Amino acid sequence: MMAAGAFAVGAIVGSFLNVCASRLPKGRSLWMPGSACPACASPIRWYDNIPVLSFLLLRGRCRDCAGRIAWRYPIVEMTTALLFAGAYLRIGWRADLVLALLFLCVLVVITAIDIEHQLIPDRVTLPGIVAGFAGSVATGRGSWSEPLVGILLGGGVFFVIILLSGGGMGGGDMKLGAMIGAFLGWKLLLPALFLAVFLGGVVAAALLAAGRKGRKDPIPFGPFLAFGAAVSLFWGGELCNGT
């Protein structure tokens, strides 16, 4: 029952994360005005704003103008719901759970924005660094040095890559790396980085082989970092211990 409740809460939170993903890149308020169709600007009724279910009932179209609703909306809602339920089952009802849920929300927003805009907003990562560090210290997940070293290591790795590649990777990735280090600490940061680089390399090679991308075409790295961070949050301890 608790996992089901976490799933339902996650779906509702996912609906708000969609608002964040839509408005943050444009510098718009997250609170005003209310949700509206991006095609015709008609306000979305409450019964058309039920996570996932409304999308299915409306068959992915606006009730007023029949304009298509992007698949990002149900995907973000369902992903957040599954992550919330998984976090509860994995962590249990502890203070760590609140920090983990906040971390997962930030990762979902960053992934959605980076895929659509190839942008990782400072308005998300910089407060995330502070929240991750403060939350890690407050919940007693090791000493204060662990998230601090995580910040320096996560940001430092990408700072070096940026210098050596002449800008082949953006500053947003550097700040995201620092944020992941703040939430996870340097030990769990390591498997997150390894997974991100490995998966990113595999996907990039597949896109090049299929002719979908050229060698100079940018590929957003934020989603791979977010995936590695989420996996490390759930199973990083086992990965580090080799179990």
My answer on whether 152 and 136 are in the same domain is yes
pLDDT 10s digits, 91-121: 888 888 999 999 999 999 999 999 999 999 9
My answer on whether 134 and 64 are in the same domain is no
My answer on whether 81 and 108 are in the same domain is no
pTM (2 d.p.): 0.91
* Residue 35: predicted pLDDT: 82
- What's the 3-state SS for the chain? CHHHHHHHHHHHHHHHHHHHHHHHHHCCCCCCCCCECCCCCCECCHHHCCCCHHHHHCCCECCCCCCECCCHHHHHHHHHHHHHHHHHHHHCCCHHHHHHHHHHHHHHHHHHHHHHHCCCCHHHHHHHHHHHHHHHHHCCCCCCHHHHHHHHHHHHHHHHHHHHHCCCCCHHHHHHHHHHHHHHHHHHHHHHHHHHHHHHHHHHHHHHHCCCCCCCCCCCCHHHHHHHHHHHHHHHHHHHHCC
* Residue 37: predicted pLDDT: 80
- Domain termination site, one of 44, 71, 93: 93
Q: How many domains does the chain have?
A: 2
Name the stretches of the chain with pLDDT < 50.
Answer: none
* Residue 173: predicted pLDDT: 93
